Amino acid sequence: MSNTICKNNNHTSMIYLYGIANCDQVRLAKKFLTAQSVNYEFIDFKKQLDETLLRQLVDLVGWDKLINKRARTYGQLSDKNKDKIIQQDLTVVLNNSSLIKRPILQIQTQDKQRYLLGFNEKNYRALCQIQ
């Protein structure tokens, strides 16, 4: 039997899933969390990405991990925009939210934050302490 919500040291965690609704990996993560009765808030990059959120994600995972350089969107960027990404120009990412690796699962407790980048059921189970 699984936990109904992620727990850490008997404190309830705040759980956020960031991504794009029609992304296959995001759909898998949402399906898994829902099947495990994990309460989470979904933040859709296509609807809710702004400079403040992007800066929070950069602080959480780091710029290099956040940007998906294998994405089709990245390959279609001009050399000028690729250079801007190397210089950590938020504007390019704000205008092309598909550049962000996804999903990002963030678990926030009173004393720390943890995250997972991408969907892996085994890692999600471990982070959420689901048997």
**Tokens for 41?**
């808030």
Q: Are 18 and 43 in contact (CB under 8 A)?
A: yes
How far apart are the C-alpha atoms of 37 and 5, rounded to whole Å?
7
Among 48, 44, 50, residue whose Cα is nearest residue 23:
44
The active-site residue out of 6, 15, 17, 23 is 23
Beta-strand relationship, 104-108 and 113-117: antiparallel
Please give the backbone phi and psi of residue 7, each rounded to the nearest 5 degrees, phi first. -130, 150
* Residue 22 DSSP symbol: T
Q: Is 6 known to be catalytic?
A: no
The residues assigned a catalytic role are: 23
